[in-house]
């Protein structure tokens, strides 16, 4: 950049002092301020080795590390060094201050302070830069030698592209390559910055002196903010000012006041205790989402006609107005959609039937009429809010406009006032008559399935749900069982009991009967009941160990292909016969950490993906229930669910006595919850932006149409958006989710959710409007997808890297001028992001390596997390921990009081009092932890005579005393409040290893565990990386 | 054997119910369904007033009856006895009127009575086999007469509208041309004088 910068010769006349005068505010301030403000780490090391940091200056400046914006700051110093010809920092303090301040935090100080004090860190795979530091560490001692050269090199080739590195490489080969390799993403970013730098360049050089380091965009806010000294404001400056104003003082406080700022971001001080090099951070002060998920209010307040956030959440409701701005938002930009989220009573989505006019849609972009369309021309035309085309209003839909341009019939038109609405679909939206709900059960009856007791629970559960299956009287039902052969059941209504037909030719599967394998439930009810009653005993003596899963799946497909519907597969062994048989490819320790690691997590046999594609085509959704205690290759089986909009439920080592209740509840919910059939979903958005990637369980038909054979309220889908145009000219971007589906009652409907979001020109505003829940949801899906193509470690690193980039970007916005040098600063809206990021890295799909989670559990958790709505996902990532004993001991406390008493604790072992009783609830299970010194009374009351036994064998049941009843009431209440999954209760006593470890301790995400970071370490690590080469 | 069964409102062609897995084993189901839809559209324009009609199409034949502004239509093999087909439709009609009669006029969405498909399914099965005692009895029932029901070809039926248009177009052309002829003749006459 700088080399070819023609601006260079233009500013030779500038007095040398100016740059300094100008520069200090930028460079030095943070540094000096950080000292007094909070003993930042900088202060910690400054006295020890003033020389040490300096040699590194070249590093920091040349390092590709910093984002685009940092390059501008980095570059300034070198020229000054060379100007005086003698580089020593002493001669020109201010300039050094700049690099010094920035640089200190990076490798050197961090290594000097932190790694030394925290051994585990070193061995641990830290995201990016920390790795180099380790090898680096000795270097502070040999600083002066390379010192001269690097600055020159930087200077000679100012652009922060590759040239300088190669030079410095020679002096510091190792670190440099390290840096570069670990930041593949930066090259792109820089080039982005380059694209836009031209307008800024003019401003920057003007006070920087002779060299023109092409300050990237981000520097403008700084400049503009540094006070009034900015000379004739070039294009960039006003931009910066204006944007700052917009974002900072939209009404929060008087412009310029620090108070106004405080609402914008939070900061944490990380100071060092005098005399120690261990940076202290007050763990209590760290932000924690103890209130659970909080839906962003701002968004809905700004646009009251938007759909409820339970249906659609944007990662930030400030949509960037330019690609360059979007590229500085390092977090995902997109949405999480839960089209059928359960609405509380009274908030049901209104149903609208356009009988005579047909559904009103935009002629060009097919947007459905919504509250944001505008009527003009006395009500004869309406303008589409998404593509701004002027459409005619059909005669039957015409209404006069009042004085304000609103239709006079507005109060009778929910589609023009509500963000969520359902349209009754006319025949054009039907390929065929609405299908009835269809449930087909494919049940493994091999010996392991029989022994686990799964068959019995399944049969009982299905039988008990027959009355509640949606869609009476059209509901269709069918069964097939399989071991080494496939058994079909004729359920013709005229029979008294089902007839079984066995097909053992697995190579050429055929269906033995054209009809009556799938029957109308209301007509064949008694046959179905007889079948379910006899199913458990039918196979009780079966000793067949084989599993013809693939052929059975094909057979089920043939039976269902006429109608589609839901296929529920209960699988207890590894498929061993016929197509789709799977190998015990196993969870090999040696594969971890190699390039082949991810292969374990993707389907082994193409059969599964092809089959999933076929199933989707015929509107069949697959739900996999897996039960084995041995390896069953969930990665392969789950593929069926993944591409058909289904789900994976995994009950490792299923025993009906222990897991029966969980299976019963979850299967019942699966069967009885309101389900949308044969559906497709599309999300539309305004011109200039486009959804480009979709994440979740579905199959993409064409580029943007999600095929969803079945959808229910527990499924959410994430999508990311990109800017197609360099600059958005509109003020608002609209989003519209449309789900075309057949309801269980046989009505074809279109559910439409519409939302508007403002376009912003400022990064700070994007941060302010960020929704951490949505960000984390998209993040998790991306990270889990990444584990399918690379190592777990890489997936975790990418999470960390993006958080660091985002916070760094934010820091660059605010840190300097507000003297927050040594603090971690983060936007208020994203204050939980680092913690959720940590929790994500420690969640089952991503944690550790071979030993930290069995492969099947990892995969099934991954499949589950891909579908979870925001609230449930956050709960899973940061579960609640509640102390129970005090409440239980209180005499007359009613369950209602419990709400008030329910105080979530930070997830750290230090919060576990050994005299207490704690409940850990992650939305999928309860773990009740009995402290070692818990009063025996309590234990005895709750557990009866078993209270001293090993708790793994004890199940919690209601006993004859008030305390036990109270506890059961609490659990019941909690389960009812969150019915998607059944919380299976595990009891564990303090010190009872290894159960305590995997049930609770490894899930206390704030604690350090094995190779994983604790919260404090994680924050420090992120902070260090954020400050690196700012 | 019955292949397809559709029930629609005659006034606007709105489909009310349809047999469930009717399209099984039928290769061109979509094609024939399109024909049925075209037929319903024709009916809704007030043509083909005949309340009972059979229409040949390819290897199949449509039979329909119109009663109470509802059209009950089925598609069978040509070999399937006409008598049985119409009795099947009568059965459907009786049940449909009994269950849904009151709401037919007010139905506002397509397939509003899709629940009727279970009855269609059941009834269809009864008529599947022409040699059951029940069906033989029905075939021999002399009180139910279907001979006078007209049989036409689908092209003819769907083409009727087209042909009418053609005729009216030709006649209008004739009118205008004859007017020109009259004018010219008058001119010529004048010139001769």
Q: Are A491 and A498 in contact (CB under 8 A)?
A: yes
What pLDDT does A468 receive? 93
What pLDDT does B150 receive? 77
Smallest CA-to-CA distance from B16 within B24, B4, B8 is with B8
User: Taking CB atoms and an 8 Å limit, are B111 and A746 in contact across chains?
Assistant: yes
User: Taking CB atoms and an 8 Å limit, are B117 and A747 in contact across chains?
Assistant: no
Task: Provide, as residue numbers in chain A, all residues whose Cβ is less than 8 Å from the Cβ of B111.
Answer: 430, 433-434, 746, 748
Local structure of A596: helix, strand or coil: coil
The first and second tokens of residue A438, run together, are: 């269809």
Q: Are B56 and B171 in contact (CB under 8 A)?
A: no
pLDDT digits (tens, 9 = 90+) for A431-457: 889 999 999 999 999 999 999 999 999
Task: Provide CB contacts within 8 A for A115, sequence distance 6+.
Answer: A121, A122, A130, A133, A134, A137
Task: Provide, as residue numbers in chain B, all residues whose Cβ is less than 8 Å from the Cβ of A677.
Answer: none
Q: Tell me how far apart the alpha carbons of residues A689 and A320 are, in angstroms, rounded to a whole number.
A: 10
Query: What integer is the mean pLDDT of A721-747?
Result: 91
> Which sign does the torsion angle of CA A776, A779, A781, A786 carry?
negative
The first and second tokens of residue B89, run together, are: 């439709």
The first and second tokens of residue A89, run together, are: 């920092």
What is the bridge-based pairing of β-strands B151-153 and A675-685? unpaired
Q: Is residue A186 over pLDDT 70? A: no
Q: Smallest CA–CA separation between B115 and chain A, in Å?
A: 6
Return the number of CB contacts < 8 Å for A and B. Answer: 51
Ranking A189-198, A523-532, A1006-1015 by mean pLDDT, the lowest is A189-198
Instruction: Give the DSSP H/E element, type plus range, for residue A608.
Output: helix A606-617
The first and second tokens of residue A904, run together, are: 């979530």
Strand partners, B67: B70
- Cis peptide bond prior to A473, omega within 30° of 0: yes
Chain A interface, best mutation among B2, B21, B34, B40, by max A CB count within 10 A? B21
pLDDT digits (tens, 9 = 90+) for A299-324: 667 888 999 999 999 999 899 999 99
Nearest-CB residue to B117 (from A353, A474, A522) = A474
User: Taking CB atoms and an 8 Å limit, are A474 and B115 in contact across chains?
Assistant: yes
ipTM surpassing 0.85, yes or no?
Answer: no
Quick one: pLDDT band at residue A220, thresholds 50, 70, 90? very low
Question: Does A957 or A791 have the greater pLDDT score?
Answer: A791
Nearest CA in chain A to B108: A355
Quick one: pLDDT band at residue A136, thresholds 50, 70, 90? very low
What pLDDT does A98 receive? 37
Q: Are A793 and A787 in contact (CB under 8 A)?
A: no
Q: Is residue A123 over pLDDT 90? A: no
Q: Tell me how far apart the alpha carbons of residues A817 and A767 are, in angstroms, rounded to a whole number.
A: 18
Q: Tell me how far apart the alpha carbons of residues B51 and B143 are, in angstroms, rounded to a whole number.
A: 18
Quick one: pLDDT band at residue A816, thresholds 50, 70, 90? low
Q: How many Cβ atoms sit within 10 Å of the Cβ of residue A18?
A: 16
Nearest CA in chain A to B6: A433
Question: Does A426 or A213 have the greater pLDDT score?
Answer: A426
Question: Does A861 or B138 have the greater pLDDT score?
Answer: A861
What pLDDT does A579 receive? 92
Nearest CA in chain B to A518: B21
Distances (CA, A) of A737 to A343, A719, A734: 17, 11, 10
Chain A interface, best mutation among B11, B34, B113, B117, by max A CB count within 10 A? B117
Interchain contact A748–B (C-beta under 8 A): yes
Q: Are A177 and A183 in contact (CB under 8 A)?
A: no
User: Taking CB atoms and an 8 Å limit, are A355 and B17 in contact across chains?
Assistant: no
Task: Provide, as residue numbers in chain B, all residues whose Cβ is less than 8 Å from the Cβ of A520.
Answer: 118, 121
Q: Is residue A707 over pLDDT 60? A: yes
Question: Does A765 or A151 have the greater pLDDT score?
Answer: A765
3 state SS for A760-816: ECCHHHHHHCECHHHHHHHHHHHHHHHHCCCCHHHHHHHHHHHHHHHHHHHHHHHCC
Residue A577 half-sphere exposure toward CB, CA atoms < 13 A = 20
What pLDDT does A938 receive? 86
Nearest CA in chain A to B19: A433
Nearest-CB residue to B118 (from A427, A432, A473) = A473
Q: Smallest CA–CA separation between A359 and chain B, in Å?
A: 12
Query: What's the first-to-final CA gap in chain B, in angstroms?
Result: 77
Nearest CA in chain A to B115: A474
Task: Provide, as residue numbers in chain A, all residues whose Cβ is less than 8 Å from the Cβ of B15.
Answer: 427, 433
User: Taking CB atoms and an 8 Å limit, are A520 and B121 in contact across chains?
Assistant: yes
Task: Provide, as residue numbers in chain B, all residues whose Cβ is less than 8 Å from the Cβ of A523.
Answer: 118, 122
Strand partners, A877: none
Q: Is residue A181 over pLDDT 70? A: no
Chain A interface, best mutation among B111, B113, B121, by max A CB count within 10 A? B111
Provide DSSP, A909-968.
GGG--TT-EEEEE-SSEEEEEE-TT--HHHHHHHHGGGGGS-GGG------SSHHHHHHH
Q: Smallest CA–CA separation between B14 and chain A, in Å?
A: 8
Regions in chain B scoring below 70 on pLDDT? 21-25, 47-49, 160-162
Q: Are A623 and A670 in contact (CB under 8 A)?
A: yes
Nearest CA in chain A to B117: A474
Smallest CA-to-CA distance from A99 within A183, A28, A43, A147 is with A28
Q: Which residues in chain A (521-550) have CB-CB distances under 8 A to chain B?
A: 522-523
Q: Tell me how far apart the alpha carbons of residues A595 and A464 are, in angstroms, rounded to a whole number.
A: 48
What pLDDT does A983 receive? 92
Nearest-CB residue to A562 (from B18, B24, B118) = B24
E strands, B43-189, are 52-57, 60-67, 70-77, 151-153
What pLDDT does A272 receive? 38
pLDDT digits (tens, 9 = 90+) for B83-110: 899 999 999 999 999 998 888 888 889 9
Chain A interface, best mutation among B15, B109, B113, B125, by max A CB count within 10 A? B109
The first and second tokens of residue A602, run together, are: 């993707």
Distances (CA, A) of A483 to A5, A544, A550, A615, A623: 74, 7, 11, 22, 19
User: Taking CB atoms and an 8 Å limit, are B110 and A430 in contact across chains?
Assistant: yes
> Mean pLDDT of all residues in chain A?
75
Ranking A124-128, A535-539, A943-947 by mean pLDDT, the lowest is A124-128
Interchain contact A358–B (C-beta under 8 A): no
> Per-residue b/e over A608-644, b at no fewer than 16 CB within 10 Å?
bbebbeebbebbbbbbbbbbbeebbbbbbbbbbbbbb
Distances (CA, A) of B163 to A224, B34, B54, B168, B170: 79, 20, 20, 9, 10
Nearest CA in chain A to B23: A562
The predicted model scores a pTM of 0.75
Q: Are A721 and A334 in contact (CB under 8 A)?
A: yes
Q: Smallest CA–CA separation between A481 and chain B, in Å?
A: 24
Query: What integer is the mean pLDDT of A936-960?
Result: 80
User: Taking CB atoms and an 8 Å limit, are B109 and A563 in contact across chains?
Assistant: no
Q: Are B88 and B74 in contact (CB under 8 A)?
A: yes
Nearest-CB residue to A426 (from B17, B110, B121) = B110
Question: Does A703 or A948 have the greater pLDDT score?
Answer: A703
Ranking A213-217, A523-527, A837-841 by mean pLDDT, the lowest is A213-217
Nearest CA in chain A to B122: A523
Quick one: pLDDT band at residue A492, thresholds 50, 70, 90? very high
3 state SS for A113-146: HHHHHCHHHHHCCCCCCCHHHHHHCCHHHCCHHH
What pLDDT does B72 receive? 94
What pLDDT does B122 receive? 87
User: Taking CB atoms and an 8 Å limit, are A473 and B115 in contact across chains?
Assistant: yes
Q: Which residues in chain A (428-447) have CB-CB distances under 8 A to chain B?
A: 430, 432-434, 436
Q: Is A464 exposed, middle or buried (0-12, 13-18, 19+ CB in 10 A)?
A: middle
Q: Smallest CA–CA separation between A564 and chain B, in Å?
A: 11
The first and second tokens of residue A367, run together, are: 């947007």
Q: Is residue A274 over pLDDT 80? A: no
Query: What integer is the mean pLDDT of A100-121?
Result: 38
The first and second tokens of residue B186, run together, are: 């008058």
Provide DSSP, A636-660.
HHHHHHHTTT--EEE-TT--HHHHH
Q: Is residue A425 over pLDDT 90? A: yes
Q: Are B173 and B77 in contact (CB under 8 A)?
A: no
Q: Tell me how far apart the alpha carbons of residues A107 and A86 are, in angstroms, rounded to a whole number.
A: 25
Nearest-CB residue to B111 (from A433, A520, A563) = A433
Residue A911 half-sphere exposure toward CB, CA atoms < 13 A = 22
Q: Is B84 exposed, middle or buried (0-12, 13-18, 19+ CB in 10 A)?
A: buried
Determine what percent of chain A falls in helix, strand and coil, rounding each to the nearest 5.
45, 15, 40
Task: Provide, as residue numbers in chain B, all residues whose Cβ is less than 8 Å from the Cβ of A433.
Answer: 15, 17-18, 20, 111, 114, 117
Smallest CA-to-CA distance from A556 within A501, A515, A518 is with A518
Q: Which residues in chain A (456-515) have CB-CB distances under 8 A to chain B?
A: 473-474, 514
Share of chain A above pLDDT 70, in %: 70
Nearest-CB residue to A434 (from B108, B114, B121) = B114
> Which sign does the torsion angle of CA B23, B24, B26, B28 carry?
positive
Local structure of A866: helix, strand or coil: coil
Interchain contact A749–B (C-beta under 8 A): no
Q: Which residues in chain A (392-431) have CB-CB distances under 8 A to chain B?
A: 424-427, 430
Q: Are A565 and A439 in contact (CB under 8 A)?
A: yes
Q: Are A48 and A840 in contact (CB under 8 A)?
A: no
User: Taking CB atoms and an 8 Å limit, are B17 and A432 in contact across chains?
Assistant: no
Q: Smallest CA–CA separation between B140 and chain A, in Å?
A: 27
Question: Does A774 or A970 have the greater pLDDT score?
Answer: A774
The first and second tokens of residue A540, run together, are: 């009780």
pLDDT digits (tens, 9 = 90+) for A17-71: 333 333 333 333 333 333 333 333 333 344 333 343 333 333 333 333 333 333 3
User: Taking CB atoms and an 8 Å limit, are A563 and B21 in contact across chains?
Assistant: yes
Query: What integer is the mean pLDDT of A727-736?
Result: 89
């Amino acid at each position: 950049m700088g080399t070819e910068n023609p601006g260079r010769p233009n500013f030779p006349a500038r007095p040398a002092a100016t740059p300094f005068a100008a520069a200090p505010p930028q460079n030095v301030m943070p540094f000096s301020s950080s000292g007094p403000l909070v003993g930042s780490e900088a202060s910690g090391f400054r006295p020890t080795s003033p020389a040490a940091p300096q040699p590194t200056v070249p590093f920091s400046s040349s390092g590709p590390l910093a984002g685009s914006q940092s390059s501008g700051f980095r570059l300034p110093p070198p020229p000054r060094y060379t100007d005086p010809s003698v580089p020593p920092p002493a001669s020109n303090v201010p300039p050094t201050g700049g690099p010094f301040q920035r640089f200190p935090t990076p490798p050197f100080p961090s290594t000097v302070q932190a790694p030394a004090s925290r051994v585990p860190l070193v061995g641990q795979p830290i995201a990016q830069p920390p790795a180099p530091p380790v090898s680096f560490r000795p270097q502070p001692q040999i600083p002066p030698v390379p010192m001269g050269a690097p600055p020159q090199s930087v200077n000679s080739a100012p652009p922060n592209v590759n040239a300088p590195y190669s030079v410095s490489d020679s002096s510091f080969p190792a670190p440099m390559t390290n840096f570069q390799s670990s930041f593949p993403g930066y090259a792109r970013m820089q080039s982005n910055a380059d694209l836009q730098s031209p307008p800024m360049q003019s401003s920057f050089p003007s006070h920087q002196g002779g060299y023109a380091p092409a300050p990237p965009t981000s520097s403008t806010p700084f400049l503009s903010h540094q006070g009034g000294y900015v000379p004739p404001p070039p294009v960039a400056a006003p931009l910066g000012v204006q944007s700052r104003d917009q974002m900072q003082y939209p009404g929060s406080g008087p412009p310029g006041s620090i108070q106004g700022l405080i609402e914008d971001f939070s900061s944490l001080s990380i100071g060092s205790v005098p005399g120690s090099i261990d940076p202290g951070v007050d763990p209590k002060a760290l932000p924690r989402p103890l209130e659970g998920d909080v839906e962003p209010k701002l968004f809905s307040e700004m646009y009251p006609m938007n759909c409820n956030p339970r249906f659609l959440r944007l990662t930030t409701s400030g949509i960037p107005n330019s690609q360059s701005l979007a590229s500085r938002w390092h977090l995902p930009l997109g949405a999480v959609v839960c089209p059928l989220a359960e609405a509380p009573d009274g908030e049901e989505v209104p149903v609208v039937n356009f009988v005579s006019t047909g559904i009103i849609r935009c002629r060009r972009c097919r947007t459905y009429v919504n509250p944001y369309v505008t009527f003009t021309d006395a009500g004869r035309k309406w303008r589409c809010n998404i593509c701004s085309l002027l459409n005619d209003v059909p005669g039957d839909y015409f209404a006069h406009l009042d004085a304000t341009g609103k239709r006079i019939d507005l109060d009778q038109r929910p589609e023009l006032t509500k963000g969520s609405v359902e349209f009754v679909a006319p025949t054009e939206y039907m390929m065929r008559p609405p299908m009835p709900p269809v449930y087909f059960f494919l049940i493994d009856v091999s010996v392991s399935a029989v022994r686990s007791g799964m068959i019995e629970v399944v049969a009982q559960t299905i039988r008990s749900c027959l009355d509640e299956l949606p869609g009476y009287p059209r509901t269709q039902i069918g069964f097939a069982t399989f071991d080494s052969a496939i058994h079909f059941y004729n359920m013709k209504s005229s029979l008294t009991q089902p007839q079984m037909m066995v097909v053992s030719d697995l190579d050429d599967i055929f269906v033995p009967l054209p009809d009556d394998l799938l029957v109308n439930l209301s007509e064949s009810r008694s046959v179905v009941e007889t079948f379910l009653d006899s199913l458990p005993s039918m196979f009780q003596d079966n000793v067949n160990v084989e599993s013809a899963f693939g052929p059975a799946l094909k057979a089920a497909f043939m039976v269902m292909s006429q109608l589609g519907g839901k296929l529920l597969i209960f699988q207890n062994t590894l498929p061993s016969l016929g197509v789709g048989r799977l190998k015990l490819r196993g969870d090999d320790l040696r594969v971890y950490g190699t390039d082949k690691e991810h292969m374990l997590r993707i389907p082994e046999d193409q059969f599964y993906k092809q089959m999933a594609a076929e199933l989707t085509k015929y509107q069949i959704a697959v739900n996999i229930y897996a039960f084995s205690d041995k390896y069953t290759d969930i990665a392969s089986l789950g593929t069926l669910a993944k591409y058909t909009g289904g789900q994976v439920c995994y009950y490792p080592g299923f025993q009906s006595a222990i897991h029966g209740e969980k299976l019963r509840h979850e299967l019942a919910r699966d069967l009885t919850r309101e389900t949308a059939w044969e559906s497709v979903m599309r999300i539309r958005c305004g011109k200039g932006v486009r959804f480009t990637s979709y994440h979740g369980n579905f199959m993409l038909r064409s580029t943007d149409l999600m095929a969803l054979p079945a959808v229910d309220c527990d499924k959410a889908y994430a999508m990311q958006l990109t800017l197609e145009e360099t600059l958005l000219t509109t003020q608002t971007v609209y989003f519209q989710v449309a789900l075309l589906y057949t309801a269980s009652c046989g009505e074809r409907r279109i559910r439409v959710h519409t939302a508007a979001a403002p376009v912003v020109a400022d990064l700070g505003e994007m941060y302010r409007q960020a929704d951490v829940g949505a960000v984390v949801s998209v993040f998790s899906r991306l990270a889990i997808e990444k584990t399918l193509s690379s190592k777990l470690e890489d997936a975790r690193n990418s999470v960390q890297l993006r958080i660091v980039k985002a916070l760094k970007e934010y820091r660059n916005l605010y840190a300097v001028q507000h003297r927050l040098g040594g603090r971690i600063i983060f936007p208020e809206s994203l204050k939980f992001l680092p913690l959720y990021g940590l929790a994500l890295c420690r969640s089952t799909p991503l944690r550790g390596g071979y030993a930290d989670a069995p492969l099947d559990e990892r995969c099934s958790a991954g499949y589950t997390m891909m579908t979870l709505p925001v609230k449930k996902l956050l709960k899973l990532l940061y579960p609640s921990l509640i102390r129970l004993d005090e409440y239980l001991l209180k005499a007359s406390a009613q369950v209602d009081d419990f709400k008030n008493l329910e105080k979530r604790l930070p997830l750290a072992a230090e919060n576990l009092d050994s005299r207490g009783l704690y409940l850990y609830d992650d939305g999928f299970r309860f773990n009740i932890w009995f402290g070692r010194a818990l009063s025996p009374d309590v234990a005895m009351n709750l557990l009866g005579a078993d209270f001293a036994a090993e708790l793994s064998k004890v199940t919690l049941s209601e006993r004859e005393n008030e305390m036990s009843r109270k506890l059961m009431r609490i659990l019941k209440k909690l389960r009812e409040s969150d019915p998607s999954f059944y919380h299976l209760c595990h009891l564990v006593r303090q010190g009872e290893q290894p159960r305590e470890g995997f049930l609770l301790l490894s899930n206390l995400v704030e604690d350090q565990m094995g190779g994983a970071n604790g919260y404090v370490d994680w924050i420090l690590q992120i902070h260090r990386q954020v400050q690196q080469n700012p | 054997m019955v292949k397809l069964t559709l029930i629609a409102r005659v006034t606007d062609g709105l489909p009310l119910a349809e047999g469930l897995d009717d399209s099984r084993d039928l290769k061109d189901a979509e094609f024939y369904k399109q024909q049925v839809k075209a037929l319903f559209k024709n009916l809704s324009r007030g043509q083909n007033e005949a309340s009972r009609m059979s229409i040949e199409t390819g290897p199949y034949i449509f039979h329909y009856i119109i009663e109470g502004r509802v059209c009950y239509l089925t598609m069978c093999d040509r070999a399937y006895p006409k008598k049985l087909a119409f009795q099947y439709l009568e059965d459907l009609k009786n049940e449909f009127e009994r269950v849904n009669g009151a709401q037919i006029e007010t139905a506002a969405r397509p397939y509003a009575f899709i629940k009727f498909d279970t009855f269609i399914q059941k009834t269809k099965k009864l008529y599947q086999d022409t040699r059951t005692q029940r069906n033989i009895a029905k075939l021999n029932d002399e009180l139910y007469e279907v001979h006078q029901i007209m049989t036409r070809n689908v092209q003819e039926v769907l083409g009727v509208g087209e042909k009418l248009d053609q005729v009216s177009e030709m006649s209008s052309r004739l009118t205008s041309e004859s007017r020109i002829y009259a004018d010219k003749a008058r001119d010529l006459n004048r010139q001769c004088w």
